[in-house]
Amino acid sequence: MDSPEPSSKTATINSTINPTPTEDSPVFSYISNLSPIQPVKAAPVVQGFPGLNSPPLLFTSPRVSAHSRLRRSQFPQLSSEAFSGKNDDYNNAITDSDGNGVSASQLRSELSPSIQKVSDNNISVPDESGSLIRCVDEFLVDVSNSESANPSNSTNPSPKVADNIPQSPNSAAESVADFASKDARKDEIPKDAARVVVEQAEEENKGKSSSDQKDNGIYNTSTDSDLPSPDLCTKIEPDLPADNSLHYHYSGRQMAQLSRADHAMLDDASDIQNEPLETAHDCRNDNDKINSMSSAPDECIMQHDSQTKAGQHQSGIRRRCLQFEDAQRKISPTSLGLQNASGVVSCSIPPVSPAVIEVVASVSSNRSSTASNRPSTQLTSSSDNFESLAVKVPKPSGIGLHLNSIAMQAGSRATVSVKSAERGNLSLHEKKLTSMMSCHPSENLKSCSISSNVVGSHLTSGNYDGEHESYGTNAQSAASLHLNDAKPLNNTVLLKPTEHTISHKRKASAEYIDSPMDYNQSSPKKKRKKPSDGYDGDGCKRCNCKKSKCLKLYCDCFAAGIYCAGSCACQGCFNRLEYEDTVNDVRQQIQSRNPLAFCPKIVQHPTDSPANILGAEGASFTPPSARHKRGCSCKKSMCLKKYCECYQANVGCSSGCRCEGCKNVYGLKEEYGKDLVKKHCITERLEKSVEEKVEMVTATSGLLQIDQRNQCNLTPPTPSFQCSNHGKNASKSWFTSGRYLSSPESGQAIYGLSPASPTNSKNHDIDQETTGDIMDLVTFDQEFNYSNAKLANEFSPGFHVTGNTDDLLALPKSQDLASNTGGQLIPQTVHFQSTWPLSWRDSPITPMNQFDGSGMNALELTKL
């Protein structure tokens, strides 16, 4: 029996929301008829239930977020394009000299002559100085560049846009800042948009002329040379405000958004193209929105500072991306959705999936591998655009078993430290301390953030010392900021290492510049200090290749998607920036042979629920069910030595292993099935309890029930919360749970704060606690998909999860988990982005579940 109250509530709400229509609606009349309570009394009843009233409030912010996110989603795309465009410029200059000239620009030109034409008319200013303004301008510049360089992006949209675009550099006249004006002219942005941007830039510029200059100088330096400018970096670092953590928070969001947008870009390339300028404009607006949104006292962010600092950091931290850059670029961390209460953004970078890359390539063919070689630059520009994009990005696990997967996953052994430390200055103690911080999931957000940061440290390290450079991507580039991010978060612990890092940065960079060849050659001088674990200080593996030239998967560096570093003792190494083309080619060959060659080797078993992974305290680093994707073939080591990849990764053997006499301490092959069954039972129990809980909650709020019913009626029988396995096995991801925001492999991307999904506006009266539990239980194991779908459907029929993973769920890093367990990230951060890129969704290889939350987002679930 429906209690009268729910009905009345519903009626009241309906009337409140849409008084006139509601009363007229048959539903209203029907409810009114059913309800013993007279409509007249409805109002009082509603007042008596604040919970019902509150929903709108809860909803409000999501809507804002959503709005912002949507805009941002477009923006990031532009930014990405901008990146590419910028890179293109850079690359064009370089590649032309090299004779490798087929750059993205050409492709772009082919794609959109009209735009190109416009750009040609425009004054092209190669000079990309003015980082300060750049954040604003660059974004414009990038957009314009992308427009000009990459017609595909902006062109299509638009004849309309083209018409609006001034053929003359008039916009420059409107710009106060020289850089801004340059950019504006270069970009040929419509006057309105350009004006707005320029004005903003000007304002910002006024705010901090000194920093701007500094930034500019840095930027120029970084731009001119591929390598970071140690000097500049050094200068900059000290200037960082103690509270820049706040900056990072926001920047993190922005970054996340950017990344996410990048993802979206893949899917919605056409859309992006349609509204380049608008997007750019929106971006600015988004920033403003974000700022305003985050204007909360605890999140006062100084955009200028953040921009400058971030730009500085990024300038100093330059990373080169090879073929993965595009893919990763597309791989987007979650966006606003990742925002947690504290504003800390946890972004995990999905693993680089070759398939994704391919998709990306197809979508945005304009991005040549060469063009994408300068993620750092891209990142910088992007970050500038976003006012310092510091993202706590877990290491890209896409790298595979090697560096990232193993080192990070092995919680017990995870020794992640600042790589620069190895070079000398950082004391072992500090290193360990850092590692510990990173390795242990913390209970508090700060710790979590640190952990996350550390996770990415290995990536970062490359930047710092200029040695290990990831092929990868913005994501990795973003990761490079981890340490920086971490510093603000925990000055006492991480600041020191960072300082060291910076100092080393200079050193390393100088070294790199001076004698780039030094470090790949196995010079006796550079006797590698081979740590017992085979990792250098930062958790990066280094190789000792002699015959493979570091162009085969034998090479850990190569396999991990990074360039060999000075710490490597390889001989005849071609896995270097100088040979990036070669590296790309080889990688492509390998991928053509085995698309999964560079995918993470360690994946979360589908049935592993978040609860299992995290454990009660969230301290578990390696999910018990984590397994080597391909399995091992050990015969003599009995899986008890590091010859065994499973053992090396601290994961148990599975049925996929072909090992003989398995005695893997992390899990015997024979026991794997048993464990699965056990877990399955446990999971079922949990689900039941959750369902019961949910029912209780639902009963409490009659509105919810009614709402759900209505929705169910409106929706097809198919569970809206569905996981579609395009792959053979449904991937389940533990990161699907809200707790796992930042699964690099999966997920963070998955969790974007879904904008307020329109469909959702109901059910927000459910307390978060319940939601949190639910989310924890929402695993996407194939086995449980149906039940989950059912459950989800109960709440929101609109929720649709597309689980497209081939069972490749890369393990989220322990740090990620830790950060997730912080609790602050929770339910809100769990988002199912409706805008998730198709590329991921379509990619069979993509190791992550993809959620197409068209109808419902995490927030909705949370609200439930």
Partner DNA sequence: GAGTTTGAAACT
Partner DNA sequence: CAGTTTCAAACTC
The smaller minimum CB distance to DNA, of residues 530 and 678, is found at 530
C-alpha span between 850 and 732 (Å, rounded):
10
Site for DNA in 482-521 (CB under 7 A): none
The smaller minimum CB distance to DNA, of residues 371 and 632, is found at 632
C-alpha span between 852 and 496 (Å, rounded):
42
Beta-carbon contacts of 532 under 8 Å, excluding residues fewer than 6 positions away, are: none
The smaller minimum CB distance to DNA, of residues 401 and 730, is found at 401
**CB 650 → DNA: shortest distance, Å?**
12
Q: Of the candidates 553, 723, 753, 774, which one interacts with DNA according to CB under 7 A?
A: 553
For residue 332, is it left (φ>0), alpha (ψ between -120 and 50) or beta? beta
The smaller minimum CB distance to DNA, of residues 429 and 527, is found at 527
Site for DNA in 453-472 (CB under 7 A): none
Instruction: For residue 504, give Cα distances in angstroms to 129, 318, 424, 500, 538.
Output: 25, 14, 8, 6, 13
3-state secondary structure of 652: strand
The smaller minimum CB distance to DNA, of residues 82 and 551, is found at 551
**CB 412 → DNA: shortest distance, Å?**
14
Closest CA to 805 of 732, 720, 721: 732
Closest CA to 378 of 332, 319, 312, 457: 319
The smaller minimum CB distance to DNA, of residues 207 and 572, is found at 572
C-alpha span between 529 and 515 (Å, rounded):
20
DSSP letter string over 78-106? HHHHHHHHHHHHHHHHHHHHHT----HHH
**CB 653 → DNA: shortest distance, Å?**
10
**Per-residue burial over 13-46, b = 16 or more CB atoms within 10 Å of its CB, e = otherwise:** bbbeeeeeebeeeeebeebbeebebebeebeebb
Q: Of the candidates 643, 656, 691, 844, which one interacts with DNA according to CB under 7 A?
A: 643
Tokens 């194991």: give the residue.
781
Q: Of the candidates 630, 732, 762, 813, which one interacts with DNA according to CB under 7 A?
A: 630
Measured CA angle at 257 (ends 127, 792), to 5 deg: 165
Interface stretch with DNA, choices 143-151, 385-393, 628-636, 778-786 (CB under 7 A) = 628-636
> Per-residue x/- marks for DNA, 391-420, CB under 7 A?
----------x-------------------
3-state secondary structure of 335: coil
Q: Of the candidates 189, 399, 632, 686, which one interacts with DNA according to CB under 7 A?
A: 632
**CB 864 → DNA: shortest distance, Å?**
43
Interface stretch with DNA, choices 8-16, 635-643, 742-750, 852-860 (CB under 7 A) = 635-643
Q: Of the candidates 238, 297, 527, 616, which one interacts with DNA according to CB under 7 A?
A: 527
**CB 751 → DNA: shortest distance, Å?**
29
**DSSP label at residue 740:** -
Q: Of the candidates 206, 636, 674, 709, which one interacts with DNA according to CB under 7 A?
A: 636
Q: Are 280 and 140 in contact (CB under 8 A)?
A: yes
Site for DNA in 426-445 (CB under 7 A): none
Q: Of the candidates 58, 136, 141, 543, which one interacts with DNA according to CB under 7 A?
A: 543
**CB 532 → DNA: shortest distance, Å?**
8
Beta-carbon contacts of 847 under 8 Å, excluding residues fewer than 6 positions away, are: 350, 351, 353, 398, 599, 600, 603, 731, 745, 746, 805, 806, 808, 809, 810
Q: Of the candidates 291, 544, 588, 729, which one interacts with DNA according to CB under 7 A?
A: 544
Interface stretch with DNA, choices 139-147, 546-554, 697-705, 820-828 (CB under 7 A) = 546-554
Closest CA to 484 of 746, 220, 290, 305: 305
**CB 518 → DNA: shortest distance, Å?**
18
**CB 602 → DNA: shortest distance, Å?**
12
**CB 585 → DNA: shortest distance, Å?**
13
Q: Of the candidates 160, 206, 642, 685, which one interacts with DNA according to CB under 7 A?
A: 642
Q: Of the candidates 117, 191, 208, 546, which one interacts with DNA according to CB under 7 A?
A: 546
Q: Of the candidates 634, 651, 808, 838, which one interacts with DNA according to CB under 7 A?
A: 634
Beta-carbon contacts of 646 under 8 Å, excluding residues fewer than 6 positions away, are: 627, 628, 631, 632, 634, 639, 652, 653, 654, 657, 659, 664, 666
- 3-class SS letters over 367-432: CCCCHHHCHHHHHHHHHHHCCCCCCECCCCHHHCHHHHHHHHHCCCCCCCCCHHHHHCCCCHHHHH
Q: Of the candidates 357, 448, 475, 545, which one interacts with DNA according to CB under 7 A?
A: 545
Interface stretch with DNA, choices 22-30, 346-354, 629-637, 693-701 (CB under 7 A) = 629-637
Site for DNA in 595-614 (CB under 7 A): 597, 601
The smaller minimum CB distance to DNA, of residues 167 and 594, is found at 594
Site for DNA in 555-594 (CB under 7 A): 555-556, 559, 590, 593-594
C-alpha span between 733 and 840 (Å, rounded):
14
Interface stretch with DNA, choices 91-99, 640-648, 735-743, 844-852 (CB under 7 A) = 640-648
Instruction: For residue 611, give Cα distances in angstroms to 432, 623, 729.
Output: 28, 9, 21
The smaller minimum CB distance to DNA, of residues 143 and 560, is found at 560
Which amino acid is located at 126 in the chain? P
838 binds DNA (CB under 7 A): no
Q: Which two tokens stand for residue 666?
A: 């992390």
Closest CA to 196 of 208, 211, 184: 184
**CB 546 → DNA: shortest distance, Å?**
4
3-state secondary structure of 718: coil
The smaller minimum CB distance to DNA, of residues 332 and 591, is found at 591
**CB 555 → DNA: shortest distance, Å?**
6
The smaller minimum CB distance to DNA, of residues 81 and 536, is found at 536
Q: What is the dihedral of CA 76, 80, 86, 87, to 10 degrees?
A: 150
How many chain residues are in contact with DNA, going by CB under 7 A? 38
C-alpha span between 491 and 351 (Å, rounded):
30
Residues forming the site for DNA (CB under 7 A): 401, 527, 533-534, 542-550, 552-556, 559, 590, 593-594, 597, 601, 630, 632-638, 641-645, 648
